[in-house]
Structures are given as structure tokens and as C-alpha cells.
């Protein structure tokens, strides 16, 4: 599942099937944790938040793109479409230096010795 939009308020939007396991999980517990990664650049982020299932047809139309047709055979009028809106409560990021193999070796050395050899920038994102 990929995010389709991050709005001006910071909410993160996803398309989902109404009867999906993910929607059922959100109905039971709206707390979610999202992971975003760009391994090629060594950039990672985790976002904690509260998820809400949205059935608003106008919002579905606003967020619709041709790529979403892959999952919904009847297009934006598919009766099984829903949206998931995640309102972030906290977030943390890591931007690492160097290539993946070097970062992996630095991480392994850090775990083995208890010394942080990982270079780069990391920190909490204020929400």
C-alpha cells in the first residue's frame, strides 16, 4: 500500500478496499505505524498516527489517479473503495551517509561494540 497524498494539514491518505483486512484492523484499533524508505538514498522515516476510514465519494474523486485503476476494476465508482486517512502524532527520520553495504557494516559494528558508528542525520519530526 502506498500513500497517495500528504495534505497541507500533514494527513497521509491511502486507498483501500472497504472489506480489506487493513480496514478491519483499523476498526479494532486506529493506532497505526507507517514506514517509508528510500534505500538508494539511505533515507528512512517512521510515522505513528491515528487512522480513520473515509467513505466520502467527493474525496475519493479528488484523490483519484489512473494508477489506482489497477486495484479497483470499476474505477472511482467501484463500490468497494474506501480511503484511509492517517493523522500523524509523531515521526522520526534517518538520513544515512554512504552506500547500503557500508551502512550495514557500520550498523553491525555498532551492535557488536555498543558504539554508534552510524553517520548521517536523524531526529524527531515535530508534529
| CATH, residue 48 | 2.30.110.10
Q: For the chain, what is the domain count?
A: 1
State the pLDDT at residue 15.
97
Q: Which pLDDT tens digit goes with each residue over 73-122?
A: 899 999 999 999 999 999 998 887 766 677 677 767 776 787 776 667 77
Q: How confident is the model over 18-47, as pLDDT tens digits? A: 999 999 999 999 999 999 988 778 788 999
Residue 13: which domain range? Answer: 5-125
Cα–Cα distance measured from residue 43 to residue 119, given in angstroms and rounded to the nearest whole number: 12
Query: SS3 breakdown of the chain: % helix, strand, coil, rounded to 5?
Result: 30, 40, 30
Query: What's the confidence (pLDDT) of residue 30?
Result: 98
Amino acid at each position: 500500500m502506498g500513500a497517495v497524498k500528504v495534505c497541507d494539514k500533514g494527513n497521509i491518505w491511502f486507498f483501500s478496499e472497504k472489506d480489506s483486512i487493513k480496514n478491519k484492523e483499523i476498526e479494532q484499533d486506529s493506532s497505526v505505524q507507517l514506514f517509508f524508505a528510500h534505500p538508494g538514498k539511505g533515507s528512512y522515516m517512521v510515522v505513528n498516527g491515528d487512522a480513520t476510514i473515509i467513505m466520502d465519494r467527493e474525496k475519493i474523486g479528488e484523490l483519484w489517479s489512473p494508477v489506482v485503476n489497477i486495484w479497483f476494476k470499476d474505477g472511482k465508482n467501484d463500490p468497494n473503495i474506501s480511503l484511509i486517512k492517517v493523522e500523524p502524532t509523531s515521526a522520526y527520520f534517518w538520513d544515512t551517509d554512504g552506500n547500503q553495504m557500508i551502512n550495514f557494516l557500520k550498523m553491525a559494528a555498532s551492535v557488536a561494540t555498543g558504539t554508534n558508528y552510524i553517520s548521517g542525520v536523524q531526529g524527531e519530526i515535530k508534529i
